[in-house]
Amino acid sequence: MGAEVILVPRATPAETYPRWRLVLRAGAVTSCAYVVSVNRPAARSGGIIGGPSMVASPSGEVLLETTDPVAIVTLDKAVLEHARRQYPGYLDVRAHVYERAWRDVAGG
């Protein structure tokens, strides 16, 4: 639908980050968009919530991973366009080919 950046705020424990990292990278690849996920930079008052924030590119590359409270990353629209040209899920759908195949299977 044309989204360029998906924002994913989190309030998750640090020990769950490896799983989140994988999911966020996969989300970037399958959506052909940047994924920006922000968590609390550190646990407060002995709580368990806190850990890294990250930015993943449409290729799944981690562009930024930090526990700093402020960070800057530059996103490039040309990277989005390239990813969208390469991702097979965005190829043209030829409905007539599927229709003909289903008719053949149905014997018609």
Whether residue 53 has pLDDT greater than 80: yes
Scanning the structure block, which residue is given the tokens 């930090």? 66
The per-residue pLDDT for range 5-52, each reduced to its tens digit, is 999 999 999 899 999 999 999 999 999 999 999 998 766 656 788 889
At residue 45, the pLDDT reads 59
Over range 46-70, report the average pLDDT: 91
The per-residue pLDDT for range 81-107, each reduced to its tens digit, is 999 888 876 666 677 878 888 888 988
Spatial distance between the Cα atoms of 76 and 78, rounded to a whole number of angstroms: 5
What SS3 class is residue 48?
coil
Whether residue 80 has pLDDT greater than 90: yes
